[in-house]
Amino acid sequence: MNKASAKNVRSVKHYVEMARETLQNPDKTKSFLNDIKNFVLLIGRIAILVGVSYVILSPVIGMLVNSFSSNKDAYNPMVFVLPEFPTLERYSLAILRMDYFPTIAKDLLYSGTITLLQLLVCSMVGYGFARFQFPGKSILFGCVVVMIVIPTHTIMLPLYMTFRQFDPLGIVSLITGGSVNLMGTVIPMYIMTLLGCGVRSGLYIYIFNQFFRGLPKEIEEAALVDGCGVWYTYFRIMLVNAMPSVITVAVFSLVWQFNDTFYAQLFLISENVVISKKIATLQSVIANQDKILDQPIQELYRDAGIILVLLPIVIIYLILQKNFIEGVERSGIVG
């Protein structure tokens, strides 16, 4: 494998030399043909990767260009990729209208705390399924799989009702004489996450379960012999060893929570906390408040807004990227 890739990266000059050599020595023809084949395959692979990367990146590049271009550039068909009169005006207005810094701080706090809860609860449940034998385990784990498979929209109405008149076991109505309306707050999301039913919690439980099952039992036995309790073993030994899957789940959870609009809409969570709701209305807000009625120009502001929303999550992703990918590969995410 290594030998082949070493061959692949030989310079063109080398191939020219080899061609000359081959013409003088017909015995080498076969290996020469082989080299040509490898070279063509390499070119093909690069072409595909570059092409697909372009498809992924092009909208991002397009938005970046838009967010920097001025009104003149927007209507100049000659402008391509590099705006002639770059401006930061799009960003300043988008920041103002989205109330960017307070909102993003609140959103990151919200998504971050939810992610921590997800990590704690899902790893605990995953550990419980992976390392303990108890009656009915396989049926219960089947329920986890069912939870992954059932689309959330099937249960959205009852969820709405549950939190619209929140009254667990009649305790609230016993104290205050009526149920509590939790709509418009972030509390429903915290409650659901705490009970292991947050955004894609089933998937995280599955990932943690697979990972804990792959860890050697000897670690735990050693801990037990040394007089370690079950909780201490879980927190200080197993969770530390499960770092790759912790990072994987952390990134998935943070990204999906940050991007989530489904639960945010369902629970009517204020758009001062969830910035992905603000981005949806940014264009109309700018059109109404700043009397910018030209649609292509409105879209420039929207693009600047999207870049602003993506920025923190992309930065976090780039920092964790290396760990994240290694984490996925080592976490045994698939059965």
Partner 1 sequence: MKNRKKLTLLQKRSLMGYLFIAPWFVGFLVFYVRSIFQTGQFALSELTMDTVGGGYQLTFVGLENFRYALFAHASFKQVLTTSVVNMLIDVPLITFFSLFMAMLLNKKFPGRGLVRAIFFLPIILASGAISEAMEMSATVMNGGISNQAAETAASAGQTIAFSVDYLINMFTSLGLPASLLDYIIEAVARINDIIAASGVQIILFIAALQSIPGSMYEVAKIEGATGYETFWKVTFPMVMPHIITCVVYTIVDSFTESEVVDLAYKTAFDEFNYGLSSVFSLVSTVIACIILVVICGAIQKRTFYYN
Q: Alpha carbon 38 to chain centroid distance?
A: 36
Please, what is the minimum distance in Å from the beta carbon of residue 220 to partner 1?
11
Q: Closer CB to partner 1, residue 22 or residue 207?
A: 207
What token pair was written down for 295? 């649609």
253's tokens: 């959870």
CB 98 within 8 A of CB 332: no
CB of 21 to partner 1, least distance (A): 26
Residue whose tokens read 């309306």 = 181
In the bound state with partner 1, the residue whose beta carbon lies nearer, of 25 and 176, is 176
Instruction: Determine contact, residues 213/161, Cβ cutoff 8 Å.
Output: no
Which residue's CB is nearer to partner 1, number 9 or number 293? 9
CB of 204 to partner 1, least distance (A): 11
Shortest separation between residue 5's beta carbon and partner 1, angstroms: 5
The 8-class DSSP code of residue 272 comes to T
Angstrom distances, CA of residue 220 to CA of 184, 190, 252 = 44, 31, 28
Asked if residues 224 and 233 have their Cβ atoms less than 8 Å apart, the reply is yes
Query: Which CB, 152 or 241, lies closer to partner 1?
Result: 152
Q: How far is the CB of 13 from partner 1 (least distance, A)?
A: 18
Amino acid (one-letter) located at 251: V
Nearer to partner 1, 25 or 58 (CB): 58
Q: Residue 198 gets which letter from DSSP? A: S
Q: Which of residues 24 and 89 has its CB atom nearest to partner 1 in the complex?
A: 89
State how far the Cα of 94 lies from the Cα of 90, in Å rounded to an integer.
6
CA-closest candidate to residue 164, choices 178, 188, 181, 185: 181
Answer for the pair 198, 189: CB distance below 8 angstroms, yes or no. yes
Q: Of 175, 191, 195, 194, nearest to 183 (Cα)?
A: 191
Q: Which is nearer to partner 1, 23 or 180 (CB)?
A: 180
Let me know: does 256 contact 198? Beta carbons within 8 Å. Answer: no
Minimal distance in Å, beta carbon 143 to partner 1? 6
Q: Which residue lies nearer to partner 1 by CB, 32 or 211?
A: 211
List the structure tokens of 169: 């076991």
In this structure, the number of other CB atoms found within 10 A of the CB of residue 66 comes to: 21
